[in-house]
Structure 1
């Protein structure tokens, strides 16, 4: 609830409830009580109304901070129900003490019917307090969840679009065909092996959009084929070192993650025989580290960060995890969470 609206509500709300209570519960006072006693009773009732409104508001806001979100609605309502007897009796006691202090009452004494009548009125008031603040919070939380879901759906569509762009990257295909053309003339046997690697790579690329997660083992098998294409083009100017525990091979990850990282490294760094680009893929506990040495190209390559953003979106969208990206003095490092073999994705929103 916005601060301005809440402040205005805290001023006007108790007054409106007091007028409602006067109309439905205390109208006989104006026919039976003398003017001075009636004035004191009204002041006591109105003051107690402001105190109880703010006490109930504090309780509801405290519960919302302690148990936030739509998922905790039942827990908050249960606590409100449990605290209701305490709050209504405190409200009743405040009014009784006010009458003792300012309205000539000798002591706090009420018959059982009068007590239950007063408690019933306080239950009615507190239900209104709870409905106002909890209802406003539920509406805000629902709207926020709806907006997040819509944002995630848009992210998913962007992710799928970026995946399709990766699958049919014309620049990558042109380079492969150019390399193949040279191999056919210089080394026909290697050209045949190169065609097999292209077939393997594109078969995996075309399947990738049909699955949300794949195993690390599958990704490593694919990246070996993909790297052979790069090796054919760059020769000794590029190196790939893989050190992954066998226990991690069944872990899950979004498909094409390694390909995007390797492609990103090649795009932004020099590949030379004397200064090879070294790409490391290493498992470390429940994480996979993909790192490369930094040797930036003299002419900076325009970066849209589509690749890294696509990976981050995949992890956030599918499993709610974040990746870590850092640039050191001599290395660029990306740390990816390794997911258990059985994991529920968040894509079906």
Structure 2
């Protein structure tokens, strides 16, 4: 939440508005402006008090309703706050004037001074607050616009990365090589391998334009993808799936699991004597992807684009952040599973 940048308004603006409002009030009530320094002093003091109290209302409203789509409840909250507290302060101040003899009228509860004193404070506060609300709306719109543009960039990058995976000659060559070996040794397994390879490519092509997809689809994809990996690495790689079924309708950015699996394969030793074990499980509404850490002796260069891509997607979609943890024995990524829409649940 942006801080109120109102230093000079508090120092100069509020006292000037207070003096103008007081002059208007005396003209309205047809009472001669008194030659008494205490009246403008107390009026300025009261105006400063009104603004400081109402300033808190602006801050509280922004904390409670910070988003651009919450503008109406935020403005309504501020308006009620202004009317209530400005009325309390100004009515008390006008009565104080009467009590110490600064307001020269025998009728202590004369309507005009109480009404107009309060009205000037409320109207003055609303005018000042309207300016700050306008600035705040512009700032929120600017943030929303920037985030939207960033999300477009992330989606384009994700599509580009996905396309690179689809046409990656190493990825294609390795799988075709595995398929060639299977054709001569195990035709049935070769047929299944070809089906899984087709399933992987169909999924990659379909996900380019989506921000979120059901976890069930990701799990179906990663099972097909892992079958390709298992065919290639054999006993050097294992996957343990402990995802709870009731989370399968929850949403996740597409191709997230592929990125994490590729990351694990890229940086770890994969041998039958030292197998890479990738675990998928759910915990407290999060999807966890964990693998045992056995780094390659020759470190693989990495710019961490994959992990940054996942984290940026969650951030720009305004969802809880991704948690990354690692020590000497394991690497863990925990991602929030997003509540599905009613339409998804009804399918």
TM-score between both structures, scaled by the size of structure 1: 0.78
Aligned to 2:61, which of 60, 63, 67?
Answer: 63
Give, in angstroms, the shift of residue 143 of structure 1. 3.3
Unaligned 5+ runs, structure 2: none
Other-structure match for 1:10: 10
User: Would the aligned equivalents of 1:289 and 1:333 in 2 still touch at CA under 8 Å?
Assistant: yes
Structure 1 vs Structure 2 CA RMSD: 3.7
Other-structure match for 2:332: 333
Rounded Cα–Cα distance in structure 1 between residues aligned with 2:38 and 2:156: 66
Equivalences for residues 1-349 of structure 1 within 5 A = 6-21=6-21, 24-26=24-26, 32=32, 37-83=35-81, 84-98=83-97, 100-101=99-100, 103=102, 109-180=108-179, 187=185, 189=187, 194-284=193-283, 286-317=285-316, 320-339=319-338, 342=341
Instruction: Give 3-state SS (helix, strand or coil) of 1:131's partner.
Output: helix
Bigger Cα Rg: 1
Distance change in 2, residues 1:270/1:132 (3 Å) = same
User: Would the aligned equivalents of 2:50 and 2:121 in 1 still touch at CA under 8 Å?
Assistant: no
Query: Which range moves more in the overlay, 9-18 or 281-290?
Result: 281-290
Query: Which range moves more in the overlay, 301-310 or 220-229?
Result: 220-229
Give, in angstroms, the shift of residue 277 of structure 1. 1.5
Query: Which range moves more in the overlay, 94-103 or 229-238?
Result: 94-103
TM-score between both structures, scaled by the size of structure 2: 0.79
Distance change in 2, residues 1:68/1:102 (3 Å) = farther
Residues 70-119 of structure 1: CA deviation (Å, up to 9, x unaligned): 34433343344434154235224324524654748597725334443444
User: Would the aligned equivalents of 1:91 and 1:122 in 2 still touch at CA under 8 Å?
Assistant: yes
Distance change in 2, residues 1:246/1:99 (3 Å) = closer
Rounded Cα–Cα distance in structure 2 between residues aligned with 1:125 and 1:302: 61
Distance change in 2, residues 1:41/1:299 (3 Å) = same
Give, in angstroms, the shift of residue 205 of structure 1. 1.9
Rounded Cα–Cα distance in structure 2 between residues aligned with 1:123 and 1:264: 60
Rounded Cα–Cα distance in structure 2 between residues aligned with 1:28 and 1:254: 63
Rounded Cα–Cα distance in structure 2 between residues aligned with 1:341 and 1:296: 37
Instruction: Give 3-state SS (helix, strand or coil) of 1:292's partner.
Output: strand
Give, in angstroms, the shift of residue 317 of structure 1. 4.8
Aligned residues: 341
Rounded Cα–Cα distance in structure 2 between residues aligned with 1:275 and 1:111: 91
Give, in angstroms, the shift of residue 14 of structure 1. 2.5
Query: Which range moves more in the overlay, 212-221 or 275-284?
Result: 212-221
Give, in angstroms, the shift of residue 20 of structure 1. 3.0
